[in-house]
Chains A and B, each alone.
Chain A
Amino acid sequence: EAGVVQSPRYKIIEKKQPVAFWCNPISGHNTLYWYLQNLGQGPELLIRYENEEAVDDSQLPKDRFSAERLKGVDSTLKIQPAELGDSAVYLCASSLAGSSYEQYFGPGTRLTVT
């Protein structure tokens, strides 16, 4: 069984430029999460989807961040415009149905904003 796939693995952009991350969850997993992880810290939830619906986006900076999960499968997280402080690892995870199940994480996308 394939795991959670994320692309790209690394991205370097200049500040004020847009950037997008893509995530393909494990087949059959209804719940999809996007996390941000700074060095030496734990993951911080940005948004959680149950199928196509964003059920928790309270930590998503909506002035510059946006996300979508069309058809309840793949998801895209976008930042526009990027700021220096956005440099971090962006992790995608999926679980079978809700947060009472174990989450499977992708390898993450390391973003560097210069």
Chain B
Amino acid sequence: SQQGEEDPQALSIQEGENATMNCSYKTSINNLQWYRQNSGRGLVHLILIRSNEREKHSGRLRVTLDTSKKSSSLLITASRAADTASYFCATEGVMNRDDKIIFGKGTRLHILP
């Protein structure tokens, strides 16, 4: 399967610092998405990056995709307390209409005051 696996599993940084988390997957994908989940809440979509894209930005977020290494990274710059959450990558496979969306186990980010 092309399950994404986030790294690290947990990350604690000081407010104002940058946070980087990575996602690796196993097989070819159509796109890769990053989601955030605050404690006890539903997931919120952050960024979708397609297989023919290498980098995308959205506010303080920067996502890169390296299809040769089958990996993606999510960078959050100038972190804030509100960024404390779990972050998941989700990959969509390329198997026709049965493309599967598979989520990783997530990175738990904690922003220290």
Chain A residues with CB under 8 Å of chain B are: 4, 33, 35, 40-45, 48, 50, 55-56, 91, 93, 98-108
Q: In this assembly, does B30 line the interface, its C-beta being within 8 Å of a C-beta of chain A?
A: yes
Task: Render B88-101 as a binary contact track against A, CB cut-off 8 A, 1 for contact.
Answer: 10101000011111
Chain A residues with Cβ below 8 Å from B45 are: 102-104
Determine if B98 and A108 form an interchain contact, defined as CB atoms under 8 angstroms apart: no
Which residue of the partner chain A has the closest CB to B99? A99
Q: Which residues of B contact A (CB under 8 A)?
A: 30-31, 33, 35, 41-45, 48, 50, 88, 90, 92, 97-106
Q: How far is the CB of A37 from chain B (nearest CB, A)?
A: 9
Taking a contact as CB atoms closer than 8 A, the residue among B44, B50, B98, B99 that contacts A105 in the complex is: B44
For residue B100, which residues in chain A have a CB less than 8 angstroms away from its CB? 45, 56, 99
Centre residue among B30, B42, B44, B100 by max chain A CB count within 10 A: B42
Q: Note all chain B residues with C-beta closer than 8 A to A99.
A: 30, 92, 99-101
* B48 and A102 form a contact (CB under 8 A): yes
- Minimum CB–CB distance from A17 to chain B (whole Å) comes to 24
Q: Verify A45–B101 contact, CB threshold 8 A.
A: yes
Find B31's partner among A93, A100, A104, A108 (CB 8 Å cutoff): A100
Q: Is the CB of A45 within 8 A of B102?
A: yes
Residue of B nearest to A56 (CB): B98
Closest to B103 in A: A42
Distance in Å: Cβ of B94 to nearest Cβ of chain A? 11
- Chain A residues, Cβ within 8 Å of B48: 101-102
Nearest 7 CB-CB pairings of A with B: A42-B103, A105-B42, A102-B45, A105-B43, A107-B42, A99-B101, A43-B103
